[in-house]
Amino acid sequence: MWSYIARRAVQALFTLMIITVLCFLLTRFSGDPIAQYAANPRMSAEDKAALRERLGLNQPLPVQYFKWLGLAVQGDLGQSFFAKQPVSEMIAQRLPNTLILMFTTEIITVSIALLLGIISAVKQYSAVDNIITSFSFIGYSIPIFFSALGLMLIFAVQFKEWGLPYLPTGAAVWDKKDPVEYIKNLILPVSALVIVQTAGYSRFVRTSMLEVLGLDYVRTARAKGLTSRVVLFKHALRNAALPLVTIVGLDIPFLLGGAIVTESVYSWPGMGRLFWEYAQRSDYPVVLGILLIVSTAVVAFTIITDVLYTFVDPRIRLS
């Protein structure tokens, strides 16, 4: 196993190198941070050239890339062009909010998806299965911005007009150190994400459970007189959970990047909103810092997921 991990780690370094090159080129060609000063009559061409030189944008792209990469390896992600703050500090301020939002969503999603997927598989083609399947298709088809705005319209706007207890939209300034306010502002974005993700996860669980329930060893367990609960949870669910382990394992790294649409709709101060705000300004250090963290997490969790497979299913061996 250790030789496998070492080999994958070397592959990961090359993969990350390619990813950083592509991300750097895409961000550099996506826009010019100096362009917003084009309409400013008080800035002369000399001032813009001096600003470009001060920011290091006048250097050749290979020089800019290796200079950025060398600092990033040392933990220095640079300084934001517009916020005039270290990128690492900006990310550190937003990362806890994103982790709370996304891990809360992931825990609720996996719990509900397992329950719905198992019920749907056990009661295949029944009325309950048809209802759950319909919910899954609808939830998976609805764009996240539509469900986010719909929940806001119902539980924030309409409930307030009806005189019922309503939830905040996130647009107002709120005290993030107040746990009650924090939880209240967390409910709607978590709900919007859970609707979409649960729909997809439950379909995977249902398909896996149906496949496992038809295997010989499950029929043998039933023939031995084991109860349906033991057969379902001890024998079937463990193997049926393998695809879910893969999905969750690969989804976790993207938690760091946040949900751009959801965080923007609800003004949630997380990584996704930070990325969107500074991508529009072509603030390369911030954008590249977030992309580097997410890319590193994706590569790392891919290896971790492969290793976890050996514990979930002992038949799988890493070589």
Q: What is the pLDDT of residues 21-69, one digit of tens each?
A: 998 888 888 777 776 666 666 777 777 778 778 777 788 888 889 988 8
Residue 234 has a pLDDT of: 77
What's the number of CA atoms in the CB half-sphere (13 Å) around residue 48?
14
Taking only the tens place, the pLDDT of each residue in 172-205 is: 767 777 888 888 889 999 999 998 889 888 888 8
Q: Quick one: average pLDDT of 105-120?
A: 90
Chain-wide mean pLDDT for the chain?
A: 84
Q: Quick one: average pLDDT of 71-93?
A: 89
- Residue ranges matching CATH 1.10.3720.10 in the chain: 87-312
CATH assignment of 87-312, given 1.10.3720.10, 3.30.1180.20, 2.40.10.10, 1.20.1250.20?
A: 1.10.3720.10
Residue 1 has a pLDDT of: 65
Residue 38 has a pLDDT of: 61
Q: Tell me 172's DSSP state.
A: S
Cβ contacts of residue 317 below 8 Å, gap of 6+?
A: 310
Cβ contacts of residue 178 below 8 Å, gap of 6+?
A: none
Beta strands in 24-180 (DSSP E): none
Least confident of 118-127, 142-151, 189-198, 248-257: 248-257
Residue 158 has a pLDDT of: 92
What's the number of CA atoms in the CB half-sphere (13 Å) around residue 126?
8
Residue 104 has a pLDDT of: 92
Q: Whole-prediction pTM value?
A: 0.82
With 90 as the cut, is the pLDDT of residue 210 above it? no
With 70 as the cut, is the pLDDT of residue 259 above it? yes
